[in-house]
Structure 1
Amino acid sequence: MSKFIFCTAFLTTLAACASGPHQFTYADFEDAKVLPYDVPPQVIYRIDDYRFITLEHYRDCSHGDTYYNDSKTSIRTYLGRGGIENYQGTLIIADSSERNVVIPSSAPPNFACSDRGCTVSMIYSTDSGKTFRGTKYMLSFDPYSDSRDMTIVATSDSIYVARRSAIDTMVDKYPLNPAVDLNKPYPPGFLNEGAWAAKRKLMPDNLHSPSGQERLSCDASIRPSNPDAPLN
């Protein structure tokens, strides 16, 4: 799978101080062919006993590679780098057929967006995680913080994207079907819907992932012994 770009931004303006001779920058991190960090994979989101997302080769909980795994069908799909692990909102995969999966991204803390903001994406699959497509779900100047207000749900036929505000929750519903590319005109019979929750109920109640997990989780105490390794 080709690398998926999660955000558009002035990447070179972001730098984290390193104690060694090599200064870590997001641009170098994103462009590295292979991340050198010596850490074990972490399961950061579990759908059920055999479907899960791992964070691998990570410098910390915000900077690594993510993979979708299905141990029952031996699917292992590369998802991206420095995006998915930073999503702070609610994520529910509630399709009993196990065909539909949606995975949102975000950006690391203090990520520098352009003066037009960051275009933040989610990826979705209708073939049980073998392949993924991407589409925008948010425009933000602070994706890491703003993603905390998001709830993203996959069901047997739809993606629901809900954003909570101080006043109400806005819910958008998108068709989830192999015939539909969310970035192109839809075939006849498919459409988007949107509504303020206080005015119209759009998203069903009692939706849950089989595992019960609804947020990504990473053990920040697991760190590499070589965090300042050069990025080539």
Structure 2
Amino acid sequence: MRQYLLELVTAARTHTSAPHLASIAILVVISATASLTGCGLAALPGAVGAVPATRTVTRGVPKYDVDPQVIYRIDDHRYVTLENYPSCVHKSRYDDLGQVFYHDDKQAIKAELPGGFAIYQGRLVVDAPGGKNLAFPASPAGICGDKGTGAAIAYSTDSGRTWQALSYIDFGCDPDSTKNFSIVATDAAIFVENSTYRTYLGTRYPIAPGIDYRKPPLPAGYEVTYGVPLPKAKTPSGMEHVVCDPSITARSVTYIKPDSVPQIR
């Protein structure tokens, strides 16, 4: 649980664009904690106050000497990198996932995402020509309670400057379960399809400034639509899955003392 919580907490660390992710980090940290008692992400209220970093061991928080690598690309200037990781090959949900960042080079945006995106194994298409909407799903990881833990999609409607969270897995423990999902982000909505359901139809979640799925109901004129087919869409780069180069591994690791790890405030 410690490792899993901090990979989400780190989404609010201070850098050029990280403060705007504090709400997502706090939300998902609470979800992971609540899962020990069987609580789901969608039922959780908002949270305020200081949340201590928890991805610690007796030696401290690991800092890996490793080359960043692109694990998902939208186009020539928008992409996602994996950084500060021991290896991109994960043998269990308890492994250190590293840190995941979204980049928009043209707009000088670098935003940290939940590390669980690195182990998302389903299909992801970002086809939003307007350039505003983005979506990156996480995966269940860490310690699971009796009823499992959830997973959320981190999404943005302003090119990655600010982020919201949308739950797409209420209960689950196995990252491999994400293989069953197809997620498509367009200029108007996020579509989620779970192929384990024999209908092979998806759910349409409208996204726009002012919509916050943590604070229902949705604004007037917006509604979630069930049983809809996924739109025909294509990421500009052609990518549909997270990839990594397993030959890239950490050369060494040092540890930051727990007392020096920043807190969310």
Question: Cα distance 1:33–1:67, how it changes in 2: closer, same or farther (>3 A)?
Answer: farther
Question: Cα distance 1:95–1:187, how it changes in 2: closer, same or farther (>3 A)?
Answer: same
C-alpha contact 1:44 1:218 (8 A) present in aligned 2: yes
C-alpha contact 2:71 2:82 (8 A) present in aligned 1: yes
How far apart, in 2, do the equivalents of 1:145 and 1:31 lie? Answer: 30
Question: Residue in 2 aligned with 1:209?
Answer: 235
Alignment deviations for residues 177-200 of structure 1 (CA, whole Å, 9 cap, x no partner): 1121122211111000111xxxxx
Q: CA deviation at 1:141?
A: 2.8
Query: Bigger CA drift: 30-39 or 152-161?
Result: 30-39
Instruction: Structure 1: state its 5+ residue gaps.
Output: 11-26, 196-200
1:162 partner SS:
strand
Instruction: Note if 1:179 corresponds to 2:210.
Output: yes
Give 1:119-198 correspondences, 5 Å limit.
119-165=150-196, 167-184=198-215, 185-195=217-227
Runs of 4 or more consecutive aligned structure 1 residues displaced over 3 Å after TM superposition = 27-35, 229-232
How far apart, in 1, do the equivalents of 2:123 and 2:58 lie? Answer: 29
Alignment deviations for residues 140-165 of structure 1 (CA, whole Å, 9 cap, x no partner): 43331110000111101010010001
Q: CA deviation at 1:231?
A: 5.8
Figure out how many residues of one structure are paired with residues of the other and give that number: 206
Alignment deviations for residues 29-55 of structure 1 (CA, whole Å, 9 cap, x no partner): 599986410001110000000000110
Alignment TM-score, normalising by the size of structure 2: 0.71
Instruction: Structure 2: state its 5+ residue gaps.
Output: 1-18, 37-53, 91-96, 258-265
Q: CA deviation at 1:60?
A: 1.6
Alignment deviations for residues 179-230 of structure 1 (CA, whole Å, 9 cap, x no partner): 21122211111000111xxxxx43222x010000000001111111225x44
Question: Cα distance 1:50–1:30, how it changes in 2: closer, same or farther (>3 A)?
Answer: farther
C-alpha contact 2:156 2:163 (8 A) present in aligned 1: yes
C-alpha contact 2:61 2:255 (8 A) present in aligned 1: no
Question: Residue in 1 aligned with 2:8?
Answer: none
Give 1:74-153 correspondences, 5 Å limit.
74-81=108-115, 83-108=116-141, 111-153=142-184
Question: Residue in 2 aligned with 1:69?
Answer: 103
Give 1:11-30 correspondences, 5 Å limit.
28=55
C-alpha contact 1:118 1:140 (8 A) present in aligned 2: yes
How far apart, in 2, do the equivalents of 1:221 and 1:209 lie? Answer: 26
Whichever residue aligns with residue 184 of structure 2, its letter is V
Higher fraction of helix: 2
How far apart, in 2, do the equivalents of 1:32 and 1:122 lie? Answer: 32
Instruction: Note if 1:53 corresponds to 2:80.
Output: yes
Alignment deviations for residues 116-154 of structure 1 (CA, whole Å, 9 cap, x no partner): 211111110000011111121102433311100001111
Q: CA deviation at 1:73?
A: 0.9
- Percent identical among aligned pairs is 33
